[in-house]
Structure 1
Amino acid sequence: MSLSLHTALISTMVLVSAADGDMTDREFNMIGKIIGTLPVFENYDEDHLVGDTRSIVDMVHNEDLEVFIRKIKAVLPKKLHDLAYALACDVAVCDQQLSQEELRLLEIIRHELDIDRLNAAAIERGTAVRFVRL
């Protein structure tokens, strides 16, 4: 499988979800909600999500993580790097269980996609606010 714009964005979400060895239903459902609502995914066929997710997981198992993230970067235009990081953050916090593995992977994604620290902090703060619970 080669990465398309859509599968590159989905890859960032899948990577973070699977970072702790367990892709929860809440995380997978969040990925589906994101794909179903964001304009960047309007031409993506949601019926391919399960198959694309499996392909992404297989690709990650067969490659070095940082090499795979560089492939994501190569597919995404610069203007979508912040979006990719924001999507990864959303999936990481949606289940209220942010693991050390997820935090480390977010750091790697941020570094590989050249997200500057100020933008990353703004994205992370926005994510925290959107997912606050009473």
Structure 2
Amino acid sequence: MPKSFTPHEALIHLMVTVSVADRAMTDIELEAIGHLVDKAPVFEGFDRKGLPAVATRTAELLRGTDGIDQILAAAKAALPERLLETAYALVVEVAAADTVAEQEELRFLEEIRDAFNLDPLVTAAIERSARVRYRRL
């Protein structure tokens, strides 16, 4: 089990994990993570200069045994109940940013839903909202 995460670190670990789930973090996904860290109210008080270090730690954890399970467990422990849906929404936002959600990304979303015991109707609404926002002409 990794050392405990701060709530900010937990959110970043989750976003980075979904972006590398398909083995390729796109520039668009990286930009989406940076934008969310800069603009989302939940990141108030986080020093953006710490983002690369957290992302590097995510990669280290993912290289280890049961890295995804460790990240999910540590993230759930770090986040108050009221932020579990917020975490899911941020992860969906990153997955949707490049308008193509690969099977690995969808699988990770399923793992978050299960690990966080999220309401299926709420997660469906979050996913639908992202699909609508990222639709193209």
Under a length normalisation based on structure 2, what TM-score does the superposition of the two structures give? 0.93
Q: Please list every run of 5 or more consecutive structure 1 residues that lacks an aligned counterpart in the other structure.
A: none
Aligned match of 2:92? 89
Cα distance in structure 2, aligned partners of 1:63 and 1:84: 23
Cα shift at 1:7: 0.6
Aligned match of 2:13? 11
1:35 aligned onto 2:48: no
Q: Match of 2:19, as an amino acid?
A: S
After TM superposition, list the pairs within 5 Å mapping 1:49-68 onto structure 2: 49-64=51-66, 65-68=68-71
Cα distance in structure 1, aligned partners of 2:25 and 2:42: 23
Cα shift at 1:51: 1.5
Cα root mean square deviation, aligned: 1.1
Cα shift at 1:53: 0.5
1:20 aligned onto 2:28: no
Cα distance in structure 1, aligned partners of 2:81 and 2:28: 29
Under a length normalisation based on structure 1, what TM-score does the superposition of the two structures give? 0.95
Q: Please list every run of 5 or more consecutive structure 2 residues that lacks an aligned counterpart in the other structure.
A: none
Aligned match of 2:134? 131
Aligned residues: 134
Give the % identical residues.
Answer: 42
CA separation of 1:111/1:36 partners in 2, compared to 1, >3 Å: closer, same or farther?
A: same
